[in-house]
Structure formats: structure tokens, C-alpha cells
Amino acid sequence: MSVASRSDLAHKRVLVTGASGFTGRYMVAELQSQQCHVIEVGSQGGVPGAHESHLADLRDAQALTALVQATRPDVIVHLAALAFVGHGSVEEFYSVNLMGTRNLLSAVEQAGLALDRVLLASSANVYGNAAAGVLDEGTPPAPANDYAVSKLAMEYVAGLWKERLPITVVRPFNYTGVGQAEQFLVPKIVSHFARRAPLLELGNLEVSRDFGDVRAVVSAYRQLLETPEAAGQVVNVCSGRGHTLADILAMCETLSGHSLDVRVNPAFVRANEVKVLLGDNRRLLDLIGSWNSPPLEQTLAWMLQAAAPGTPVGGAG
């Protein structure tokens, strides 16, 4: 398939929800580099590169409608979500991820905006416990936890607007980078190596994931925004390469020159653990053309350097 045509994002008003989060900060920088007028919507504010900053709660439909009417964006990038699978409040997964998205789409409709694009961030977790093969967008969803169910429900509710709004749903697989919270596995591992801790407790070391780099992920999102043919599509964003936690431990040991004692803590082994998540990115490449996520070694080296600037680290690129 030939690569789709491109539209120019320069000077477009782009509203980014979750702008103060891990992915949001990189997304704002990516859009700013394209000369977009970035409207930051988040829970904290003050994201570098944003031209406007607004605090908003997605669960407050009335306030969200007023915000959309006041800012009148051309494009919306919806990243705000409760993303940590181990989060304790089941209700918040649905109130934020599902109803928050519905409130946003309803606000756009009430404001009467003719948007160029809405990009909604879902998750590859919607595929569930697929244990073998490479997952493409045609893989039947089988969510295995409330986070994944809330994301799949969000996709279904977005379908109610598919005839009226140019929506692209992205399903990112796992990705990481500098600034991701240590409650997530890769930053936790990196932190232990960077500070040369003697011991690290983890869950199942043979869990395999398609680990991407946040910088490549936001580049893919931006390029999808520039691709008119991406409207109405569900698109995996992934590297197509799988690594286990044991692989990551070995890479960090090589990069840092530090060895530590790794113990499997049964308390960290989740029920309904998704054993393998490896993505097929052919649809993404068909739409945007040349794109690749850096090798995981490069991402880990970048993270180790940021965590311990005085520690010699090789392999960064």
C-alpha cells in the first residue's frame, strides 16, 4: 500500500488532554516543534511549549464543554487517562477513561466544532491474554483487567461519534522513557541500576512486552494527525519487537556495569497477567511510511544517563 497524503499542522490549534502527564509532555514538545498552537489541558499545568494552559477534570462535563467552547481547537489529542493497571480504584478507571472521553466528545459536538482530527489513546491491553503470535488490529479484543475493559469501552463509545467526527484510535503497546513514574516496571528497573541498589524485587520475569520509546510514540501520533486517511482507523503503535523483563535486566546490567540480586516476589505477580503482548505495526507504516522505535538498548541507555548523569553509560544513540 502506498503511503497516504499529508496535511500541514503548522499554526493549527491543538488541544492536548493529559498534557502534564508522561506522554503529554513529549506530545506537547512534538507539536510545538511543528509550529502548532498547543492548548494544554491537564491536572497540573505549566508544561513547557504550551501556548495556553487550562486545568480541567474530564469527569466535569459542564466545565469541559465550557473549555472546549472557549478554546475552539482544530485538533484534539486525548491522552488523559488513569493508566496504571495496579491502581486500586476500579470506579475511577470507568469515570476517567470511559465517561471522561464521552464528556469530551459530547463537548466537541455541543460546541459545534468542525475538527480536522480527534486522536484518542486507547491501549494494546484491550487484546488481553493472547499468548502467541503477533497482534494486529483485527485480533478480537479480550480485556483481562478493568483498565483494559475501560479502554475498550472508550473505543466503543467513540464509535457513537464515528459518523460525525474524524476520530483516530491508537492502541499503543508498552513504551517508556525519561520521566515515566517508577510505579511502571522499566523505570523501576532503571532506577535500581542507576543508584546501584543491591536488590530488586519483581514479578514474573518471563512476561514479554513490545517496549517502545515515548519519543517515537508521540512522533507516530503526530504523523497520524497529518494523515487524512487515518481518520476512522484503529491503529497499533508498536515496535514489533518483544523483550522479557529478564532481557531488560541483562541490558541494564551491561549498560550500567552493575549487578544486583533479583528476587521474584509473589505479591508482584498479577492475577490475569497478560503473558505476551507483541504488536503488528503494518497498518501504522502503511499510513505514515518510514517510522521506527529506537532499539530498547538505546532507550534504556538514555534513561540510565538521565537517572545517574555521573554514571558512564555506553550504547546511547
Catalytic residues: 147
Q: Which set of grid coordinates corresponds to residue 109?
A: 459536538
- The radius of gyration of the chain's CA atoms, rounded to the nearest angstrom, is 19
48-to-39, 54, 62 alpha-carbon distances in Å: 11, 13, 28
Classify the phi-psi angles of 91: left when phi > 0, otherwise alpha if psi is within -120 to 50, otherwise beta. alpha
Q: Which set of grid coordinates corresponds to residue 229?
A: 486517511
**Residue ranges with strand state E in 33-128:** 37-42, 52-55, 75-78, 117-121
122 vs 102: CA distance, rounded Å: 13
Indicate the residue type of 313: V
3 vs 126: CA distance, rounded Å: 27
Contact by Cβ (8 Å): 288, 220 = yes
Q: How many residues does the chain have?
A: 317
